[in-house]
Structure 1
Amino acid sequence: MNLYSNLTDQELIRLYIAGNNPAFTTLVHRHKNRIFTTIVLLVRDRNLAEDIFQEVFVKIVNALQSDQYVDNSRFLAWAVRIAHNACISHFRKAHTRPQIVLNYNDDLGNNMKLSEHSQEQHMIKAEITEEINMMLDRLPRLQREVLILRYYADLSYKEIAQTIGISINTALGRVRYALGNLRKQMGVESLVSA
């Protein structure tokens, strides 16, 4: 068991700033999957996501070392905002608009081991995931983006608003419309398959 695993993010940050590098390693391991998944879902390219992921953690280290981090008990939201901005910067440099889709078939965020479940359960989960991904791909880009930030990055509506530069009400509305559109698709799909 890691000596630092029971510490809060803020405690780990304070230790890291004081010169304790293993504290930062614990912080990275705690949040790397969620941050990387968010980047992959935003850029749709695993290799590019790995590059951006590294860039994000360099920016985080630089910000922490130069006292730019405000201790607000939401390190993950702050890190995801940096990741989101890095993705947007990449697309601006490439003179392309980001295609935010939720169709990445790499079992990201899938923490269950195949040995823990039967092959049948694994197949059922894969089918459900594929169907949900297809429905999410049919959503408007802006609705997909807020769902990624809300349900994969676990940001609050206020944090979503700050991250993408919209009002909280707009963030709430986009999530509400996206979920409504998903429900409609599920209703239509269940009628078609019946």
Structure 2
Amino acid sequence: MSSLRKKTDHELITDFQDGDLNALETLILRHKEKMYTSILFLVKDKYLAEDIFQDVLIKIIDTIRGGRYTEEGKFLPWAMRIAHNLCVDHFRKVKRTPAIKTSDDRDIFEVINFTEDGADQKMMKRQSYDRVRQMLDLLPDDQREVIILRHYADLSFKEIAALTNCSINTALGRMRYGLINLRKMMLQKKIAL
């Protein structure tokens, strides 16, 4: 297994196409955290993020097995594009789905508490993590998206521009204004991370 960790993404994909399931496992484990974290920040729901992440894995496996993967050396940006598109598809579907409201006009799923926080979820809710997420949520969608893709998915601005269908300068501008807005919020709320 350690020899697999030393291989490039392209070599792992080739090994998987030749029938080595351990190569796929190594490839997914290598990029799992970046993909999942980006999905989580976009959809803001742990369970939904897990579902979408599973869908991303299925799409990746089907595409590679079908011989349709062609972006040599660019696995992570390609996988992130799949994740981004599935998140966008989810939001489109939700937009078309009517919400069930209570008598005081609140979404029924906001009122019902399905589960209690587990130990792992409590650990994830560290103070600084929550503050950053809250501030990110206050940013305009396009600025928040670029910051997440750059800092959590570690994509280049060129990759972000391709993923979000904008120019590199637009992606850079969104990042700049997003960071300026985050700094302003930190100063206003006197938050130190």
- 1:80 and 2:87 are equivalent in the alignment: no
Q: CA offset at residue 20 of structure 1?
A: 1.1
Query: Quick one: distance in 2 between partners of 1:50 and 1:126?
Result: 20
Residue-by-residue CA offset, 1:70-105 (whole Å, 9 max, x unaligned)? 2432211110110000111122223259xxxxxxx9
Q: How does 1:12-161 map to 2 (within 5 A)?
A: 12-95=12-95, 106=121, 126-161=126-161
> Gapped runs of 5+ residues in structure 2?
98-119
The verdict on how the C-alpha distance between 1:96 and 1:171 changes in structure 2, with shifts beyond 3 A counting, is farther
Query: Quick one: distance in 1 between partners of 2:134 and 2:88?
Result: 24
Q: CA offset at residue 66 of structure 1?
A: 2.2
Query: Quick one: distance in 1 between partners of 2:122 and 2:70?
Result: 33
Q: CA offset at residue 106 of structure 1?
A: 4.1
Query: Quick one: distance in 1 between partners of 2:69 and 2:33?
Result: 21
Contact 2:34 2:153 in 1 (8 A): yes
3-state SS, counterpart of residue 87 of structure 2: helix
**Alignment partner, residue 167 of structure 2:** 167
Query: Quick one: distance in 1 between partners of 2:89 and 2:75?
Result: 21
State, as a whole percentage, how many aligned pairs show the same letter: 48
Counterpart AA for 1:157: F
Count of residues in correspondence between the two structures: 170
Q: CA offset at residue 130 of structure 1?
A: 2.6
Query: Quick one: distance in 1 between partners of 2:86 and 2:126?
Result: 30
Calculate the TM-score normalised by the size of structure 1.
0.78
Q: What is the Cα-based RMSD across aligned positions, in Å?
A: 2.5
The verdict on how the C-alpha distance between 1:133 and 1:94 changes in structure 2, with shifts beyond 3 A counting, is closer
Query: Quick one: distance in 1 between partners of 2:51 and 2:151?
Result: 23
The verdict on how the C-alpha distance between 1:53 and 1:143 changes in structure 2, with shifts beyond 3 A counting, is same
3-state SS, counterpart of residue 95 of structure 1: helix
Residue-by-residue CA offset, 1:90-145 (whole Å, 9 max, x unaligned)? 22223259xxxxxxx9489x7xxxxxxxxxxxxxx933223222322221121111
Q: CA offset at residue 10 of structure 1?
A: 1.1
Calculate the TM-score normalised by the size of structure 2.
0.78
Superposition misfits of 4+ residues, deviation over 6 angstroms: none
The answer to which of 171-180 and 31-40 deviates more is 31-40
Query: Quick one: distance in 2 between partners of 1:86 and 1:51?
Result: 10
Query: Quick one: distance in 1 between partners of 2:160 and 2:70?
Result: 18
Q: CA offset at residue 40 of structure 1?
A: 1.3
Q: CA offset at residue 68 of structure 1?
A: 2.1
The verdict on how the C-alpha distance between 1:107 and 1:38 changes in structure 2, with shifts beyond 3 A counting, is farther
Query: Quick one: distance in 2 between partners of 1:160 and 1:78?
Result: 11
Residue-by-residue CA offset, 1:36-80 (whole Å, 9 max, x unaligned)? 111111112222222111111111111112222224322111101
Counterpart AA for 1:139: L
> Gapped runs of 5+ residues in structure 1?
98-104, 111-124
